[in-house]
Amino acid sequence: MKNILLLNGPNLGLLGKREPEIYGTTTLHDIEEACQKLGARLGMIIATRHSNHEGELIDWLNAAFGRIHGVIINPGGLSHTSISLRDALALLKVPVIEVHLSNIHEREEFRRFSYISDIAAEVIMGHGAKGYEMAVEAMARHLQSNP
């Protein structure tokens, strides 16, 4: 079994309630459960974490160094601001799949750039909650092609 860390950044804990016209009505808990079930079928143990605090996300990534095989991350608003989060991801030397519920390229100008995208093996956006399951499947493909 491969160990995968699924990280969610600021405000994603309010999924299902927060701007459902943009982010849908599925809760973060429902997304995490679906990813864990799919991951188990694909040979992965998916540990989930959510924080509104950049430093806590970075601490989790640092603690995972040498212990995980990949990261799936929705950095939320930190996508557009956090070089430190990008650096923490890059240090791991494992596949990173960036996921966004909405298509950030069709949103406000300040949301159209992500510091994470250039180090990500794949970026999945605009598919709502289903994008997370797509990210789990993408991670499985990356791990199979690069054991």
- Single-letter amino acid, residue 7: L
The two tokens of residue 136 are: 């789990």
Residue 52 buriedness (CB in 10 A; 0-12 / 13-18 / 19+): middle
* 132 counts as catalytic: no
Q: Annotated catalytic residue: which of 23, 50, 69, 115?
A: 23
Alpha carbon distances (Å) from 38 to 34, 41, 46, 99, 130:
6, 5, 9, 16, 12
* 23 counts as catalytic: yes
Q: Which residue, chain included where needed, has tokens 């159209």? A: 112
With a CB cutoff of 8 Å and minimum separation 6, the contacts of 84 are: 54, 58
Q: Annotated catalytic residue: which of 69, 100, 115, 132?
A: 100
DSSP classification of residue 12: G
> Any idea which residues carry the catalytic annotation?
23, 100
